[in-house]
Structure 1
């Protein structure tokens, strides 16, 4: 093992967890491998995180900030209309198509990690709430209903593109989102 000492160990563990959990899965990534790839001992890993579940929880909390908020997705959000910000959510993701990390965690954690399920539920509810604020700004007559429809569309595009290893579902979802927006704001 290439040991880099304790400095930055916690962040290395989280960075490694982010890479491995998303690319290979939570269940497929053992603590031994996580420690090895983060260049820490298992003892050091357990000093920072009392369990693998704790690593998974912190991984999800850390990526919550990186996933983006539909209200202000990026530095140029103020220069884009609410409609444009909504439609940007349906741009096909770059990189490997592995789906939503929160959905993946919910499936993998199932009943084995109830704390993870709570984090996933809170994130998904927050996403819909943020979408509702944005759909209200876009002029939707029923912002909450439109937000729920767009969230289902977004989740479906992520799942289908992952299952098919094809970015085309994002294109179809974006067209459907445009139609929903037109109907709700017309």
Structure 2
């Protein structure tokens, strides 16, 4: 089993890596950091451009120089969140000494670290889908969200491939469902055992799945 304390430390370092003083950042980074904090804490639709400008301390002209539309800013926020979440998972699964099943389970160790870092407010991509549904005319934002889910799918598929299962696609979908289920439950019903329960379920699922 992975060193949970070490993983929690890695998660904290990832979070702290973006904990730079706002005033010391270039204007573009100030805007993105301010927007990212606000979008994650609140709904994207309720955070207006004027608030982002005011809290980032940039001029309106400067904002529009870097982000000609709010949609462009939201898409870049989603891209930044994708990088953070995938790096978080990579930090966990690349730890030495893990079996193939253990590498999949390490995803849940990473999630556990995330759940324990307040304030945990759920999955930014699920929240994004809720705000930019099928009827929204926001192709740039939808594409950014879709890229995250495709990247997560590809990551899980790559981890499961060495198990040489008869139906790897089914196993990938099952693990993805456990991942998203853990995230939703951690937001809805905070409980220190949620990640561990889904970790165990993933292990049972993969260890009992028919192999070739």
**Superposition TM-score tier, normalisation by shorter sequence:** 0.7 to 0.9
Q: 1:178 aligns with which of 187, 203, 209?
A: 203
After the TM superposition, list the runs of 4 or more consecutive aligned residues in structure 1 that deviate by more than 6 angstroms: none
8 A Cα contact 2:92 2:106, kept in partner: no
8 A Cα contact 2:23 2:30, kept in partner: no
Q: Matched residues in 2 for 1:4 and 1:132: separation? A: 41
Compute the TM-score of the two structures, normalised by the length of structure 1: 0.86
8 A Cα contact 2:71 2:138, kept in partner: yes
Matches within 5 A, 1:74-89: 74=91, 77=94, 79=96, 80-89=98-107
Q: 1:12 aligns with which of 7, 10, 30?
A: 30
Q: Matched residues in 2 for 1:67 and 1:156: separation? A: 16
Higher mean displacement: 56-65 or 163-172: 163-172
Q: Matched residues in 1 for 2:161 and 2:75: separation? A: 32
Q: Matched residues in 1 for 2:49 and 2:55: separation? A: 10
In structure 2, do the counterparts of structure 1 residues 52 and 174 end up closer, same or farther at CA, with 3 Å as the change threshold? Answer: same
Deviations along 1:26-52, whole A, 9 cap, x unmatched? Answer: 112111111111111222111100111
Q: Matched residues in 1 for 2:121 and 2:147: separation? A: 21
Superposed displacement of residue 139, structure 1: 4.1
What SS does the corresponding residue of 2:58 show, helix, strand or coil?
Answer: coil
Superposed displacement of residue 169, structure 1: 2.6
Number of matched residues? 182
Matches within 5 A, 1:26-105: 26-68=44-86, 73-74=90-91, 77=94, 79=96, 80-91=98-109, 92=112, 93=114, 94-95=116-117, 96-105=119-128
Compute the TM-score of the two structures, normalised by the length of structure 2: 0.76
Q: Matched residues in 1 for 2:23 and 2:150: separation? A: 39
Q: Matched residues in 1 for 2:198 and 2:95: separation? A: 24
Deviations along 1:126-180, whole A, 9 cap, x unmatched? Answer: 2112211110124433322211110011111111221223343323211211111
- Residue ranges of structure 2 left out of the alignment (5+ in a row): 1-21
Deviations along 1:47-70, whole A, 9 cap, x unmatched? Answer: 100111110000111221111169
